[in-house]
A and B are shown apart, each in its own frame.
Chain A
Amino acid sequence: MKPSLAASLIATTVAAALVVGTGGAALAAESTAGSTAPRSLSAVQALGAAATAARIGALDTSIPKITSNAYLNATEQAQVLGTLTGDRSAMVSLAAKIAADNDLAVATAGYRSIFTGYRVFAVAIPQAHYAAAASGLSDSAIPALQAAQVALQAAIAGPLASKDTPAIDATMAHLANQISVARSAVSGVSAFALSVTPEQFNANHEILASARAAVKATTAAVKAARADVASVTAALR
């Protein structure tokens, strides 16, 4: 994590916590006392403004990073950005709606939907980054490994045949296996990650764990395959 993002998240989290603490107390007080005092509406509106601003800020940090990711193909980049920009528009609209609400119950429902309806922190941003990670490996890393594998196979079968050894053959077999493992692990991960909805997260807070684990497994296989390519290349030089 970059320091600027860390500082930003800490600041927004602290700010949100302070506002949530105040507003939450207000909501709790209303709930217990049954009060519909106007100050509670303004408290909810303040909570809504802080929560939406924090999420818009986080989305504005993530969107340029996905936009500048050179390892995504255009289609998958558009899909990932669609999730983030869609949620950003929703946050802007929701902020305006809560600010304009005159009714405490309506404002409270709007405020709660920031969390249960969008899950920007828990779903939208993580799913976008996990999908981007999977797509980058699938679109760039694995094809590059496959191209290297083909080049090495051709060299071993042709001009560099005299340098082939059983150890090289074993490493080439491991390379083929790791590429296969990576392809299998990453298959469908980006689409699944992007398909996760806030409702699914509400029912299962670990819904994105499998996508994250698959990306980690793919990364490990890609690294192992990369080491195989480097090893065989060095042996053939």
Chain B
Amino acid sequence: MMPSRLALPVAALALALALALLLGLTACGTRTDSSAQESAKPLAPTVSATPKRTPDPDPLSDIGRQLATVDGATAQSQSDIAEGDTVGRANDDGP
């Protein structure tokens, strides 16, 4: 009986197709869930939601420069006084 001989392969084929369809659908569903999960993931950890804090500037950072100015001006002033004193001691009374 030919029809009965073909019935088993056809049934097997149909079962295989059904299984394949089921697996395919399942895979699609899984992939969709996976995509959804991926989109829900936070952004790369290197990107932060809050800006980085810059360190506070040193409130005393200019003091050294200001003291150097004071030192230079004081030294120059003392040099000027010495110069004036030295020249001022020269005889300027004439005949």
Residue numbers of A with Cβ under 8 A of B are 1, 5-6, 9, 12-13, 16-17, 20, 23-24, 27, 47, 51, 58, 62, 65, 69-71, 111-112, 114-116, 119-123, 125-130, 132-134, 136-137, 139-141, 144-145, 147-148, 151-152, 154-155, 158-160, 208, 212, 215-216, 218-219, 222-223, 225-226, 229-230, 233, 236-237
A-B contact pairs, 25 of them (CB 8 A): A12-B90, A70-B72, A71-B73, A111-B95, A115-B93, A115-B95, A119-B92, A121-B92, A129-B84, A130-B81, A136-B73, A136-B77, A141-B73, A141-B77, A144-B67, A144-B73, A145-B66, A145-B70, A148-B62, A148-B63, A155-B59, A160-B60, A218-B77, A223-B74, A226-B67
- Measured CB to CB, the nearest residue on chain B to A20 is B95
CB <8 Å contact, A125 and B74: no
A62 and B82 CA atoms in complex are apart in Å by 12
Contact, CB under 8 Å: A141 / B92: no
Cβ-neighbour of A121 out of B66, B67, B81, B91 (below 8 A): B91
For B33-53 the 0/1 string (1 means CB < 8 A from A) is 000000000000000000000
Within 8 Å CB of B95, what residues of A?
20, 23-24, 27, 47, 111-112, 115
- Majority secondary structure of chain B interface residues (helix, strand, loop or mixed): helix
- Assuming A9-B90, A136-B77, A145-B70, what are 6 further A-B pairs, CB within 8 angstroms? A1-B86, A114-B94, A130-B81, A144-B69, A148-B70, A160-B59
Q: How far is the CA of A237 from the CA of B84 in the complex (A)?
A: 41
| Interface size counted on chain B using CB atoms at 8 A | 31
Assess the A229–B80 pair: CB atoms within 8 A: no
B72 touching A125, Cβ below 8 Å: no
Contacts of B81 in A (CB 8 A): 129-130, 133, 212, 215-216, 219
| B87 CB–A CB distance under 8 Å | yes
Contact check, A140 vs B63: say whether CB atoms are below 8 A apart.
no
| Known contacts A27-B95, A215-B81: A226-B74 contact under CB 8 Å | yes
Complex Cα gap A148–B59 (Å) = 10
Q: Which of B59, B73, B86 is in CB contact (< 8 Å) with A9?
A: B86
